[in-house]
């Protein structure tokens, strides 16, 4: 899954949305509990290994939770996310931008301010 930068207009100073090489991924629905997530800072892709079994039927809804993630700075819709599916040796099966799919990103915890100056 491709993650655009958090503040892409900042060029070289833009932040990655995923904050760890190995972010915490938790299977919620129809995914293997021992899935492994890895984020590549160069390509901006999050790879999920062992996410579903070979017997999972196409069209099955899957849900996972991603930790170590930098929440978007506003409630405005974000664009530029892309999902790529591959086979067990990395050969591309399919690719699409998330805007074309029924995919939801939900924030489950919000930023807490520890200090505010005006």
Q: What is the pLDDT along the chain (118 residues), one digit of tens a residue?
A: 888 777 767 777 777 778 888 888 999 999 999 999 999 989 888 898 888 888 888 888 888 888 877 765 555 556 667 777 777 787 877 777 655 555 555 555 655 555 555 5
**Domain-embedded: residue 80:** yes
105 in any annotated domain: no
Which phi and psi (to 5°) does residue 23 adopt?
Answer: -70, 155
Predicted local confidence at residue 69, as pLDDT: 74
What distance in Å separates the CA atoms of residue 67 and residue 48, rounded to the nearest whole number? 13
Residue 90: what pLDDT?
78
**Domain assignment of residue 16, yes or no:** yes
Q: Is residue 66 part of a domain?
A: yes
What's the CA gap between 59 and 80, in Å, rounded?
23
Give the pLDDT confidence score for residue 31 in this predicted structure. Answer: 93
pTM score of the predicted model: 0.70
Q: What is the predicted pLDDT for the residue at 65?
A: 85
82 domain residue, yes or no = yes
CA angle 9, 92, 25 (to 5 degrees): 65
In a domain, 118, yes or no: no
The parent domain of residue 36 ranges over 8-100
pLDDT, residue 8, reads 67
Domains: count for the chain: 1
Side-chain-side CA neighbours of residue 3 (13 Å) = 25
Using CA atoms, how far apart are residues 98 and 105, in angstroms rounded to an integer?
10
Q: Is residue 84 part of a domain?
A: yes
Q: Which residue(s) pair with 66 in the sheet?
A: 25
- Residue 44 zone, left/alpha/beta (φ > 0; ψ -120 to 50; rest): left
């Amino acid at each position: 899954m491709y993650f655009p930068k958090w503040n892409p207009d900042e060029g070289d100073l833009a932040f990655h949305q995923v904050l760890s090489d190995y972010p915490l991924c938790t299977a919620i629905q129809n995914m293997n509990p021992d899935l492994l997530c890895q984020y590549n800072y160069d390509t901006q892709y999050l790879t999920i290994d062992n996410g579903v079994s070979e017997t999972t039927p196409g069209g099955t809804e899957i849900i996972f939770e991603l930790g170590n993630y930098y929440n978007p700075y506003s409630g405005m819709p974000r664009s530029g996310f892309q999902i790529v599916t591959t086979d067990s040796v990395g050969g591309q099966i399919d690719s699409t931008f998330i805007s074309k799919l029924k995919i939801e990103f939900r924030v489950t915890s919000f930023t807490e301010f520890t200090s505010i100056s005006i």
